Amino acid sequence: MSQVTENNVNAAPAPMTPLREFWHYFKRNKGAVVGLAYVLIVILIAVFANFIAPYNPAEQFRDALLAPPVWQEGGSWAHILGTDDVGRDVLSRLMYGARLSLLVGCLVVVLSLVMGIILGLVAGYFGGLVDNIIMRVVDIMLALPSLLLALVLVAIFGPSIGNAALALTFVALPHYVRLTRAAVLVEVNRDYVTASRVAGAGALRQMFVNIFPNCLAPLIVQASLGFS
């Protein structure tokens, strides 16, 4: 009997790591896998644009101004997506331009996500006056049109790619704050939080170790939408 029990114990599968568990369920969604492959292809094209792009993005072809794409009449395989009004290859410019688009998108999402998580955790966990102050500021930001707020911030900071990314960060920030706060308010009264509080866990451990991991699902969705 003891030998049979020992064999059953030895045959038990090893527990999966969080990353392996995530991939195990992620790969079941074919649409998600296709989307991931598309994103990876775009990133690879942007990173290796120097080797993939057929031309330099600033190179001008004066004999092919406003050339149409290859599938239209008059198009040529020399310029698959055609050229612009000064003869620059559109495909090459898209490949090189993807770098800036990805950089700004990642920067805006990361900054607004990190700041929104911190403010949302503080507002939802402590509540009271702290919550009122943070959420009233967020309400004021949401009351202003997003494009107008971004233009005002760029006018204050000055025109540049970095300042534009910073302005977009402030525009996206309120959404992450509200989303994080709502998720924290759901989790803060659950039994595991109460038990951790009784065990002597501090506020920082409660917020970032116990509560925050259970608030990730809506934040990942919002970050994906914001990046797009």
Is 82 among the domain residues? no
The predicted pLDDT at position 117 comes to: 94
Is 13 among the domain residues? no
Is 5 among the domain residues? no
The predicted pLDDT at position 48 comes to: 92
In angstroms, what CA-CA distances link 90 with 30, 45, 63, 72, 111? 32, 15, 15, 15, 31
Is 41 among the domain residues? no
Q: Please give the Cα distance from 215 to 228 (Å, whole number).
A: 21
Global confidence as pTM: 0.77
Q: Please give the Cα distance from 225 to 168 (Å, whole number).
A: 14
CB-CB contact of 108 with 172 (8 Å): yes
Residue numbers of the domain that contains 163: 99-227
CATH number for the domain spanning 114: value is 1.10.3720.10
pLDDT in tens, the chain (228 residues): 555 555 555 555 667 676 777 777 778 888 878 888 988 999 999 999 999 999 999 999 888 888 899 998 888 898 899 999 889 999 999 999 998 888 888 999 999 999 999 999 999 999 889 999 999 999 998 888 888 888 888 888 888 888 888 888 989 999 999 999 999 999 888 888 888 888 888 888 889 888 998 888 888 888 888 877
The predicted pLDDT at position 33 comes to: 86
Q: Specify the number of domains making up the chain.
A: 1
Is 114 among the domain residues? yes
In angstroms, what CA-CA distances link 125 with 62, 149, 185, 202? 63, 29, 7, 12
Is 163 among the domain residues? yes
Is 57 among the domain residues? no
Is 152 among the domain residues? yes
CB-CB contact of 201 with 210 (8 Å): yes
